[in-house]
Chains A and B, each alone.
Chain A
Amino acid sequence: ELKVEQNPLFLSMQEGKNYTIYCNYSTTSDRLYWYRQDPGKSLESLFVLLSNGAVKQEGRLMASLDTKARLSTLHITAAVHDLSATYFCAGGSYSGAGSYQLTFGKGTKLSVIP
């Protein structure tokens, strides 16, 4: 059974600073996903990481995947207030019944303060 752990769970950072959110997973995962969720809203897909060494960047966010370490990171560069949200990582795997499903981490609530 795939387990996904994120840290930190809460992150308060100043505008302009850099920080990294970590996502560890317990067993082989087919793919690693990052999502953003704003309060009261659903999830917005940020990145899908498919293979070892994959790196994807969109604006101030950059995600990477190390399958050997079973670790994905979401790096925030020069944070701005608009990035305040909860970020989830999720691992994809096949269940015993053969269906493909996502297992989510607990989420990291990011607050960017002036």
Chain B
Amino acid sequence: GAVVSQHPSRVICKSGTSVKIECRSLDFQATTMFWYRQFPKQSLMLMATSNEGSKATYEQGVEKDKFLINHASLTLSTLTVTSAHPEDSSFYICSARRLAGVGDTQYFGPGTRLTVL
């Protein structure tokens, strides 16, 4: 099956620092990638949709200046949490959309657990 990787898998940082998370589709090209955030024991909330070569589309309530998304190639999207604060601590999951024959599906990365001290 399709593989999506994320790096790092876990990061602990001090308040006020910036953290970059990478999302790669390893064996397919993804014109669209998605970034989700999941708080403990809650569902996934879509933060933004990332399209290769264009600006990301952010969901309502997500600060685009705080969560910088870059989709530089068909296999790589990055999420940078700028000036992180403890309330940004969460599980961040990316997914990549793969079009294959009839229907398509999103393949999810393994997630990045961010802890801001």
Residues of A whose CB lies within 8 Å of any CB of B are 31, 33, 35, 40-45, 48, 50, 88, 95, 97, 99-107
If A42-B111, A48-B105 touch, whether A104 touches B43 (CB-CB below 8 Å) is: yes
> B28: CB under 8 A from chain A?
no
* Contact of A99 with B51 in the complex, beta carbons under 8 Å: yes
> B93: CB under 8 A from chain A?
yes
* Contact of B43 with A45 in the complex, beta carbons under 8 Å: no
Report the interface size class on chain B. 20 to 34
* Contact of A43 with B103 in the complex, beta carbons under 8 Å: no
* Contact of B105 with A33 in the complex, beta carbons under 8 Å: yes
**Chain B interface main SS type:** strand
* Contact of B106 with A102 in the complex, beta carbons under 8 Å: yes
Q: How far is the CB of A81 from chain B (nearest CB, A)?
A: 21
> B32: CB under 8 A from chain A?
yes
- Contact pick for A43, options B45, B57, B93, CB 8 Å: B93
Q: How far is the CB of A93 from chain B (nearest CB, A)?
A: 11
Residues of B whose CB lies within 8 Å of any CB of A are 1, 32, 34, 42-46, 49, 51, 57, 93, 95, 97, 102-111, 113
Q: How far is the CB of B21 from chain A (nearest CB, A)?
A: 13
- Most chain A CB atoms below 10 A, which of B106, B108, B109: B106
Q: How far is the CB of B109 from chain A (nearest CB, A)?
A: 6
Residues of B within 8 A of A42 (CB): 93, 108-111
* Contact of A102 with B108 in the complex, beta carbons under 8 Å: no
If A43-B108, A100-B97, A101-B49 touch, whether A50 touches B103 (CB-CB below 8 Å) is: yes
Q: How far is the CB of B100 from chain A (nearest CB, A)?
A: 10
- Residue of B with least CB distance to A98: B57
Residues of B within 8 A of A48 (CB): 103, 105
Apart from the given pairs A88-B44, A99-B49, A100-B32, 11 other A-B contacts in the complex at a CB distance below 8 Å: A33-B105, A33-B106, A35-B108, A42-B93, A42-B110, A43-B44, A45-B106, A102-B34, A102-B46, A102-B95, A104-B45
Residues of A within 8 A of B44 (CB): 43, 88, 104
